[in-house]
Structure 1
Amino acid sequence: MELKRNVLALALASGLCFTAGINAMPTDTGANVAGAAATNGATSDQAAPAQQGDQTAKKDDKSKETQDQQLAKSLGAITVTGYNQGMEKAIDYQRYADTIQNVITAADIGGLPDQSIADALTRLPGVSAERIAGQASQINIRGLSGNFIQTTLNGREQPSTSGSNYIQFDQYPSELINMATVYKSSQASLVTGGVGGTIAMETANPLNAPKEQNLNIDARGSYNSQASDVAGAPSTGYRLSAAWQGKFLNDTLGVGLGVAQMYQPHVAEQFVGEASDGNLTKLPSGQYAYLTQGLQVQQNGGSERRTGEMATVVWKATDELQFGADAFYSKFKDSSFGYGFRTQNIYGGNATISNAVLGPYGTMTGGTVSGDGTTQFSNETTADNYTTNTSVFSGGLNMKWNHGPWHVNSDVSLSRASSDEINVDTTADPYNNLGTATPSLMAQSTTYQLAGRSLGTVSFANPGTYTNLSDMGLSRYGVYPYIYHDKMKAFRTDVKYDLPNSSWFSALEAGVYINNHTYNADREVYVYGSEWGTDKTAGLPLTIPSSAASVRCWKGDFASYPCFLQLNGAAILAAHGITANPVKDINKNSWSEIQSGSVDEQTRDLYFQADIDAQEVFGHELTGNVGMRYSHQKQYSDGLQQVGNGAGVPITDGNGYTSYDYAPLHVGKTYSDWLPSLNLAYHLTDDDQMRFSAAKVLARPPINKMLAGSGSWVSNGQYNVWGGTSPLLDPLRAFQWDLGYEHYFDDQSGMFSTGVFYKHIDSFIQDVTYNNYDFAAAGITVPTDPTTGQPYLNGEYQTSYNASGGSVKGLEMAFAKNHIFPGIWSGLGVQANFALTTSNVRNPNNLGGAEANLSLPGLSKRVASAAVFYDYGPFSARVSGNYRSKFASDTQMAVNNQMVTFAAETVYDFQASYAFTDQWRAVVQVLNISNQPTRTYFGSDPSQTGTIQYFGRTTYLGVEFKL
């Protein structure tokens, strides 16, 4: 894609109402700007030297070649430093782009100050992030979650460590990313997948480095203000990074290397209210109420370590031929442990309730609950292990050839990601006769009161019991590994032909894209004992040695909660001669086989695009592109179906148990789509332009929802299937359009933009239960009923399907300005963004008790960010704030993931630096200045607490060295 200026008026004048696509990996031509290519996913990040056009040409009759060089000239004119330089470069990329896009760019290699690229992205309009463990991770764009967003690195699709489609952006160190572009509109040359938008990250091209040798080294120590309150959480950490670029052989060979390491505390103190089962219960008082499962109070401690590495080699063999190779690798280990207590099983007739306090919709938010020991109600002591190891590799070979009007860009790549999460769930309860063959659960009582988005109150009738090793026994120890592997092998070639003599078009483009995508999910399990000691055959409650437990009490705002035992579950088992061995278990935990499986996707795409450059349309310049992309997709999944009655094939699990009740499945489908696109920019003046874009786009279904495995049961002569996934899902198709206006201030000092957008999404992936489902027609084998000799009758089918879609529409505004005042204040600048988004999509949800309609997951009606920065001589400073209003998400931390409403939040950050010499600079940075917690609640009732998590304030102090 070429970075020229674009226009809207022709769309209105000619009546074109096409649909659009974008390029995350553009053609790099001899006449084009290398810096322009960077905006489209190539590895170039700075403009090539501008070539002068015909000096005799009239001022208002620019040749196409000089039009293409405007970005290069503009970037070359930037002489400011620090935050002002980053802002002005980003504005120029946006100004001269064909598509509607926003850009963040480093002023130098290693120049982005954020913990990960996710933090940097939230500074852009309409972009927000979900904080996981206090860090920005999953990105939302224009009210759509990460499953609607395509992500590339150096033009290559990125695999995911999330177990689904969305990218966990905290995997990508900001020190190794030179620029990131968020494409809001689409064009035909863009890889499909960005219904919400496309995020194109890029590393630096060493041939574009300002000097022959460039080196940046950054070392920072950190301190977390919350860590001292959390068991097992260190309070200090560090960030180290080094980036080097060198040019050799008369600037024809460029080499770039980078490494970035982060070590920091994993810190969270959380108060958790749990969900309702949606059933009205009559209380002893005569009240009818929705009861909840329980509540939790927990400390999460541990550490996080991330190491990122990148390498780039670029060889310019001739003036026309260039070869490149680059690789990126990142590994992230989060060793997280949770300690505290969990009041469990208030609903279901397990507890006696008195003095109940009901919320506005009839859900119990407080009262006294008690159990006599004969029911499954208890104040469990919990010890959880959430240790996760993830890694991402992305690399490839690239060739660019430019000969006269012909330009060819070819790329072959391999990308893979893996995630290995060990979820260990340990529970202990107070018992009578502990250590004998007949232990029994003690009678217990809890009084609590939720306080909405503030911390509630909790007290136990006999708090000393829960720290007495003579009373407490380990009831259950469960290990649940989640292992994912995601791999992509891709090839693409783009061919471009310049049309210098055309009055309407500057170039014609065509390309092919091939991607083979393989996804594997593996589930394993090990369980000792049972909750509340109810199943004696699974193992009796175990006594706890003093070496495997220590008493912990709360501090700060949590100081009123009861003390608890910090347990070492593995050590407790070891003291009794037991070793956990998680494996696939087809006997007692058949879900470990059913939820394992693979998905294979094959993408075969072609596209054609014409770049528009018309000098005189109603007296003004019109630029942009129009194109068509053909996308062919094949998706198949392999898994196991539970057929029962010994009608399957022999399957032997990790325990050596062989079952004949399961049969292999190989199910899938193919589909093809024509995706037209249009992008136009109409230049009203040299500083004002209007934009219009329209496109048909699609995103593939979440890959974990396409697993084929399914379990079954038989009742009343009917065969029923559960699983919640389907390899027969259709993609998420959408039509979208944008209309916007942009004004750019003189001397590259800022810009103002505003625009509206509309997306109609045909369907969303939801869970559904079909009755009397025709299994045979769907290729699902129905076993034989031995009493009739015929297949069982069709029964329930619990699966995923394409539910009816809806619209997402909104307004975005952005403002940036520096050089507001003269003299010493000339380095003062401001940036502000605001987005308003609405949708008619509703998600019925009864986890709060009474049914409530939640919004589209990831959609905040209002998203805003603002920053004030100052650069003067050796001093730079920046303070920023990011706000998002409430939104729905299924990332509630509880026994199971739950769909909740996240309350509005504002996060403030600060950074300042002082350069003592040209080489040395001191840096201070404060993240989450106000210790903004994450707050959630159920349904539409803010009084019904979901999760309140405090992560602490993080302060960095360090130095940078630049050569």
Structure 2
Amino acid sequence: MQPTSSPRLRPTALAAFTLLMGAAQAQTAAPADADNKLETVLVTGIRAAKDKSLAAKRYADGVTEVISAEDIGKMPDKNVADALQRVPGINTATGTGGNGGYDENDRVSMRGTSASLSLVTLNGHSVASADWDYGDMIAGGAGPNTSGSARSVSFLLLPSELVSQVVVHKSAQADDIEGGVAGSIDIITRRPLDFKKPFTAEVGVQGVYSDRAGKTDPQLSALLNWKNASNTFGVMGQFFDERRHVRRDGQTRSYGVATAAQANAAVPVGTTFVTNVATQLFEQERKRRGGVLGVQWKPSDALVLNGEAFHSQLDASYYRQIFNTDFANSLNSKVVPTGAVISNGVLTGATFANTTNNGNNLQATYNPGAAVKTNYYTGDFKLKVNDSLNVNGLAGTTKAEGKADFYEHYMSFRGVTQAYTLGDESGPTRISLPNGLMASNWNFIRSDHNHTLASSVDREDFAQLDGEWSFDGGVLNSLKFGWRGADHLRQAYRPLKTGWPMNAAGTGQVDGGLPQIAWDGKTLPSDFGASLGDGAGGLAGYVPSLSPSTIAQWSEANLSNDPVFNRPASGPFRVGEKSQALYLMAKLSGDAWRGNVGLRYVKTRTSVTTNTGLSCGAAGSRAADGTLITYGSALQASECAAFVPAGATLTTGSRFGNFFTMTTDSQGSELLPSASLVFDVSKQLTVRAAIAKTMSRPEYSALGTAIGNFQFNPASTPVSTASGGNPKLEPVVAKNFNLGVEWYFQPRSLLSAQVFVIDFDSLIGAGSSVQYLFNTAAKDPVTGVLKPAFMDTTVSQPISVTGKSKGVELGWEQPLWGGFGANANYTFADAKEANGNPIMGAAKHTYNLGAYYEDERFNARIAYAHRSEIRIGLYGAQQSYAAASGTVNASFGMKLTDGLSLNIEGLNLNSPTLRYFNKVPTSTALPEQTTALYNSGRQVYVGLRYKY
């Protein structure tokens, strides 16, 4: 509801208004003018959500977007990220770690930047985050363009039922927690004294059908809230238990150019061809359960105490089967294809009649222990010391843990005829095995069969104290000041990767003698691949499908699980960060304007622990005196002692090689000034401007990836090269500018435009530096004999670069006629690094379209969300992108009785296929090479909700 006079609010009135908006009633605030009367209209449902969201946005000092609980409840928003994707300037991703997308939004990014540059908090405090996927737990490759442990928050553990309001801050001010260069997202949960009635109970029961998996699973949520009659004490409990099956059909492919060694009469030198096609079936059962317990006590009008405990766990057991058809292997084996079709230098189709070579293999990954959980425990208070001074305090701890316990098994198929037809570049490649597969083709090979354990821990202890001193009269309304301290830890563990047992001599692994795994004759589903497009299902029905339990039993029975012999060197890391922050902010206002100006000081001490591999003392080699070196022997350690830096710890005895563990410490500080101004041109028109210096800390993988991949090339200067992380990376720092106008032309209506610039003084990019390191691949320049030594080394690693994201956001929402309404928004973001590459996660064009209907009994909504292509990293040496994508979601609700309602919700109704591709030089035959296609189908939820 719109005020009856110009909204010229002082900060004290704004604070009161914000508290009112946090309550569960839908009402609007009038200006802080004693002569004006408050005009109130009580509305419910979608209209109430619009009122609360737009009012909170309008009267905020900064540039914000707000989503209320009713907004979330009226869409199939199964987690908070689903709801956020409808906000201008927001992009969402459904997967991380280079493993492709799934069917549920997982990460959120803002204004043409990566997800790690947006801070996510709950009730204003940090929330720890971890991952269920092994590739996201450990340190990845060098730089930000690879998979690995990220700083961004996973939204999979945050069901939307928990949320009262989500506030997106696009401009920063001094009292905001540092960490969001592009902005921050604060998820606000319900509090016991916010409810209108002494007792509130709400129960929701749903069934979800996933059409790709072909299964229906239960979803349950419940809330109980009690408060006393005097509204001074309340207790709230809320829990959820949700299950869902996921099936994702996928196809990945890679390309090459025929060399002289590969070329033949049918495939000339320089022909681009498909080197490998991997047909992928991913099946998962997700069980998400947890809850929140809140206690609120108001012993006096001057003091409010809150306590809250939250826990959420996702069990995500999965089974992934990948059937690889290797056409490069056929050319390497001198197979001349028949039916070869070459168009514009590209081999678009051919049949390879293999005889003895291993051109096909099956990789099966079973992870029954995949899981992730997070929790937090907090306590806070709000104290009114006197009419001028208010003091708030907050302290708590949060911890998240991800686990992987998976088995991998590889089998090859010898002498299998294989063929491919490259169709539409944006579609799948048709694969066929003309002569089928027979038992005689099954070929047990010694490969990387293993059982791997991995985990990651993310933890933070935090405390903060804020005060605000208010003044009567004048331009200066109040001074706000405060302190925050945090101790953060991110650690990845990789204690075991089993393999072939150690031989009797202690110099290597056994050469053979292990039995072949049993195959029960099962194959991939008959409808596999059909969702990807014409031709993708060519392997369905006869490609082998191994039993996951059989894989686990075979691994346990035949592989060595010695924790010393099977300890990997790569992947583990530890990043510790201790930070302190102080701030001072002045709140100002005049006749038709308000704003603030402030300064935040942040100091961070960082400690990074990583492993570095050594080639000295290799088991099976001999020392200078001719003595044979064995795993874990004293001789192995003494051979490497001279190459271990001071302060580092040496580890020997692993089949993955010897390595040392070392910790690097650093510290730095930043001054972060900010200012914002809001001018009320009229009752309907508001203009905003904001400027701030913001910072985010680097990705954990960029800090914690060990330096490795040493190469020695006498033709290079220097001759030694390597790649890895950079434990001394500086923070990401940027100047953030905002200018916008908002026209509230009628109740629950808004037309807005926002211009933004994020100018990065430092951004994490790919680069190199010269360091004096021990090269394990170095050779004697005369004899060519391996001779590891310390030398100048060019290290490819993350470095600080510059860049800029600039763009515009347009928004519109309005009731139309009757119970109908509509909304639309569009964001343009031109986000580039200094080298011209798009910033990671940046989509140039994003838009959302929506419509709704609501009356006393029925409500319905439909929404379409679209984003253009985004850069996601490196695929080999080429830039990798996720193609443009759009989703259709809809919901329908019917009120059966005063407390009971029926809800039907549809997610991904257009069954989108996610496409990934490489951008290569325009002179190549395929400038946009498709590298992956994934489809997870649709999900439909049907259920009842009862509220008392």
TM range (shorter): 0.7 to 0.9
Sort the Cα spacing of 1:577 and 1:839 in 2 relative to 1 into closer, same or farther, 3 A. Answer: closer
Greater shift in the superposed pair: 111-120 or 927-936: 111-120
Are positions 1:628 and 2:603 aligned together? no
- Counterpart of 2:472 in 1: which secondary structure? coil
Q: What amino acid is aligned across from residue 553 of structure 1 in structure 2?
A: S
- Contact 1:448-1:457 within 8 A present in 2 as well: yes
- Counterpart of 1:936 in 2: which secondary structure? strand
Sort the Cα spacing of 1:153 and 1:753 in 2 relative to 1 into closer, same or farther, 3 A. Answer: same
- Counterpart of 2:640 in 1: which secondary structure? coil
Quote the residue 1:561 is aligned against: 539
Are positions 1:337 and 2:319 aligned together? yes
Quote the residue 1:950 is aligned against: 935
CA distance in 2, matches of 1:410, 1:785: 64
Are positions 1:205 and 2:191 aligned together? yes
- For residues 867-906 of structure 1, the aligned pairs below 5 Å read 867-890=850-873, 900-906=880-886
Are positions 1:597 and 2:577 aligned together? no
Long gaps (5+) in structure 2: 96-101, 132-148, 502-507, 617-638, 921-925
Quote the residue 1:447 is aligned against: 420
- Contact 2:389-2:468 within 8 A present in 1 as well: yes
Are positions 1:381 and 2:373 aligned together? no
Long gaps (5+) in structure 1: 9-27, 60-65, 67-72, 229-234, 431-440, 616-620, 844-852
Sort the Cα spacing of 1:596 and 1:544 in 2 relative to 1 into closer, same or farther, 3 A. Answer: closer
Quote the residue 1:497 is aligned against: 469
Quote the residue 1:18 is aligned against: none
- Counterpart of 1:185 in 2: which secondary structure? coil
Are positions 1:698 and 2:695 aligned together? yes
CA distance in 1, matches of 2:394, 2:336: 66
CA distance in 2, matches of 1:625, 1:151: 23
Are positions 1:752 and 2:751 aligned together? yes
CA distance in 1, matches of 2:667, 2:25: 41
Sort the Cα spacing of 1:321 and 1:665 in 2 relative to 1 into closer, same or farther, 3 A. Answer: same
Sort the Cα spacing of 1:493 and 1:216 in 2 relative to 1 into closer, same or farther, 3 A. Answer: same
The match for 1:506 among 465, 471, 477 is 477
Q: What amino acid is aligned across from residue 482 of structure 1 in structure 2?
A: A
Quote the residue 2:138 is aligned against: none
Deviation readout 1:331-369 (Å, 9 max, x if unpaired) = 111122123411237279635464666687x66554445
Quote the residue 1:120 is aligned against: 83
- Contact 2:112-2:829 within 8 A present in 1 as well: yes
- Contact 1:924-1:955 within 8 A present in 2 as well: yes
Quote the residue 1:774 is aligned against: 772
- Contact 2:399-2:457 within 8 A present in 1 as well: yes
Quote the residue 2:891 is aligned against: 911
Deviation of 1:373 (Å): 3.5
Are positions 1:308 and 2:290 aligned together? yes
- Contact 1:393-1:417 within 8 A present in 2 as well: yes
CA distance in 1, matches of 2:301, 2:665: 48
Sort the Cα spacing of 1:348 and 1:758 in 2 relative to 1 into closer, same or farther, 3 A. Answer: farther
Quote the residue 1:12 is aligned against: none
CA distance in 2, matches of 1:860, 1:276: 28
Deviation of 1:159 (Å): 1.9
The match for 1:931 among 888, 891, 911 is 911
- Contact 1:267-1:300 within 8 A present in 2 as well: yes
- For residues 102-113 of structure 1, the aligned pairs below 5 Å read 102-107=65-70, 113=76
Deviation readout 1:295-325 (Å, 9 max, x if unpaired) = 1112212311111311111111111111111
- For residues 388-787 of structure 1, the aligned pairs below 5 Å read 388-402=370-384, 403-430=386-413, 441-442=414-415, 444-465=417-438, 468=439, 471-473=442-444, 476=447, 477-502=449-474, 504-528=475-499, 537=510, 539=512, 542-547=515-520, 549=522, 552-555=525-528, 556-557=530-531, 558-562=536-540, 563-568=542-547, 571-572=550-551, 574=553, 578-580=557-559, 592-615=568-591, 621-643=592-614, 644=616, 645-647=639-641, 648=644, 657=654, 661-707=658-704, 709-711=706-708, 715=712, 722=722, 724-746=724-746, 748-771=747-770, 773-775=771-773
Deviation of 1:864 (Å): 0.7
Deviation of 1:709 (Å): 3.6
Deviation of 1:166 (Å): 0.9
Quote the residue 1:863 is aligned against: 846
Greater shift in the superposed pair: 639-648 or 318-327: 639-648
- Counterpart of 2:50 in 1: which secondary structure? helix
Sort the Cα spacing of 1:913 and 1:245 in 2 relative to 1 into closer, same or farther, 3 A. Answer: same
CA distance in 1, matches of 2:613, 2:803: 36
- Contact 1:526-1:581 within 8 A present in 2 as well: no
- Counterpart of 1:409 in 2: which secondary structure? strand
Greater shift in the superposed pair: 328-337 or 790-799: 790-799
Are positions 1:160 and 2:146 aligned together? no
Deviation of 1:775 (Å): 4.6
Sort the Cα spacing of 1:908 and 1:942 in 2 relative to 1 into closer, same or farther, 3 A. Answer: farther
CA distance in 1, matches of 2:192, 2:676: 32
Deviation readout 1:471-508 (Å, 9 max, x if unpaired) = 35465423344311010000111110111222x12111
Quote the residue 1:832 is aligned against: 824
Quote the residue 1:17 is aligned against: none
Deviation of 1:244 (Å): 1.9
- Counterpart of 1:136 in 2: which secondary structure? coil
Q: What amino acid is aligned across from residue 735 of structure 2 in structure 1?
A: F
The match for 1:181 among 164, 167, 178 is 167
TM-score (norm 2): 0.83
Deviation readout 1:229-273 (Å, 9 max, x if unpaired) = xxxxxx111211011222126110121111112101111111222
CA distance in 1, matches of 2:58, 2:197: 27
- Counterpart of 1:346 in 2: which secondary structure? helix
CA distance in 1, matches of 2:406, 2:665: 31
Q: What amino acid is aligned across from residue 944 of structure 1 in structure 2?
A: Q
Q: What amino acid is aligned across from residue 796 of structure 1 in structure 2?
A: T
Deviation readout 1:777-805 (Å, 9 max, x if unpaired) = xxx999999999x9945243435232422
- Contact 2:173-2:675 within 8 A present in 1 as well: yes
- For residues 794-809 of structure 1, the aligned pairs below 5 Å read 794-809=791-806
Deviation of 1:371 (Å): 5.1
The match for 1:811 among 779, 785, 808 is 808
Q: What amino acid is aligned across from residue 294 of structure 2 in structure 1?
A: T
The match for 2:60 among 97, 101, 110 is 97
- Contact 1:854-1:939 within 8 A present in 2 as well: no
RMSD, aligned CA: 3.8
| Count of aligned pairs between the two proteins | 863
Sort the Cα spacing of 1:908 and 1:842 in 2 relative to 1 into closer, same or farther, 3 A. Answer: farther
- Contact 1:221-1:239 within 8 A present in 2 as well: yes
CA distance in 1, matches of 2:712, 2:741: 62
Sort the Cα spacing of 1:324 and 1:574 in 2 relative to 1 into closer, same or farther, 3 A. Answer: closer
Quote the residue 1:231 is aligned against: none
Deviation readout 1:798-841 (Å, 9 max, x if unpaired) = 352324221111110111111x22xxx1x211111110111232
Deviation of 1:628 (Å): 0.6
- For residues 70-149 of structure 1, the aligned pairs below 5 Å read 77=40, 79-107=42-70, 113-132=76-95, 133-149=102-118
Sort the Cα spacing of 1:156 and 1:6 in 2 relative to 1 into closer, same or farther, 3 A. Answer: farther
- Contact 1:215-1:243 within 8 A present in 2 as well: yes
- Contact 2:735-2:760 within 8 A present in 1 as well: yes
Are positions 1:219 and 2:219 aligned together? no
Q: What amino acid is aligned across from residue 662 of structure 2 in structure 1?
A: L
Identity percentage of aligned residues? 22
- Contact 2:93-2:105 within 8 A present in 1 as well: yes
CA distance in 2, matches of 1:716, 1:897: 19
Sort the Cα spacing of 1:455 and 1:108 in 2 relative to 1 into closer, same or farther, 3 A. Answer: closer
- Contact 2:767-2:799 within 8 A present in 1 as well: no
